[in-house]
């Protein structure tokens, strides 16, 4: 169906545009990170942010999803909808970037699994033990040959220590069957 986009462009508040910019320009998806940027860069209060996110969800400019993670209980995430991307283009004269949420789902098949991996990656990155910790490894599979069987293994997290050794970490949510788990 057709929608008069100008009506929606003209009726957005400055803080709503700021929220759309945080999501569309930087790809920020996690609410706590959107909140941090909104408070620091745009001086938007927590109450105004909450209200305006709800308004943007109500007009179908952004989509909201929530789930709990072991290190981030009751986490909330946002991404632009197609309509939100059209609003963003109309205001900022550029295409929005792919959201972190979409990147995480592409890489890890589900948002819950991917953001759990990112939480663990964040914790490990703060440790003095590793020089790099990477949770996006789909494009760098490891060729494995076990008992004449060749396959590619994609670890959830790869940590490189100061001596150049790698540690491979699997983040499990108890959704794998036993044989897949054993093979990993």
Query: What integer pLDDT is reported at residue 3 of this predicted model?
Result: 78
Minimum mean pLDDT range among 40-44, 83-87, 177-181: 177-181
Query: Which residues does 47 contact at the CB level (< 8 Å), separation at least 6?
Result: none
For 119-175, write each residue's pLDDT tens digit. 999 999 999 999 999 999 999 999 988 888 888 889 999 999 999 999 999 998 877
pLDDT in tens, 56-114: 999 999 999 999 988 888 899 999 999 999 999 999 999 999 999 999 999 998 999 99
So what's the pLDDT on residue 84? 97
Three-class SS of residue 139?
A: coil
In whole angstroms, what is the distance from residue 51 CA to residue 16 CA? Answer: 9
DSSP state of 3: -
Greatest alpha-carbon span in the chain: 65
**Quick one: DSSP state of residue 146?**
E
Q: Specify the higher pLDDT residue, 53 or 69.
A: 53
Chain Cα centroid distance, residue 71? 15
C-alpha to C-alpha distance for 180 and 102, rounded to whole angstroms: 25
16 φ, ψ to 5°?
-65, -40
1 pLDDT above the threshold of 70: no
Identify the CA nearest to 8 among candidates 73, 74, 71, 87.
87
């Amino acid at each position: 169906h057709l929608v008069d986009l100008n009506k929606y462009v003209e009726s957005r508040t400055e803080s709503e545009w700021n929220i759309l910019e945080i999501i569309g320009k930087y790809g920020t998806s996690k609410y706590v990170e959107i909140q941090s940027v909104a408070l620091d860069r745009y001086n938007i209060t927590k109450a105004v942010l909450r209200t305006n996110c709800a308004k943007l969800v109500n007009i179908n400019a952004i989509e909201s999803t929530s789930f709990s993670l072991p290190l981030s209980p009751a986490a909330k995430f946002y991404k632009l909808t197609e309509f939100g991307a059209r609003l963003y283009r109309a205001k900022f004269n550029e295409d929005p970037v792919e959201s972190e949420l979409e990147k995480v789902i592409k890489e890890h098949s589900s948002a819950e699994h991917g953001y759990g991996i990112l939480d663990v990656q964040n914790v490990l990155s703060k440790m003095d033990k590793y020089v790099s910790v990477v949770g996006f490894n789909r494009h760098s599979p490891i060729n494995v040959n076990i008992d004449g069987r060749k396959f590619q293994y994609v670890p959830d997290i790869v940590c490189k220590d100061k001596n150049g050794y790698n540690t491979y970490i699997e983040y499990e949510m108890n959704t794998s069957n036993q044989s897949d788990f054993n093979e990993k």
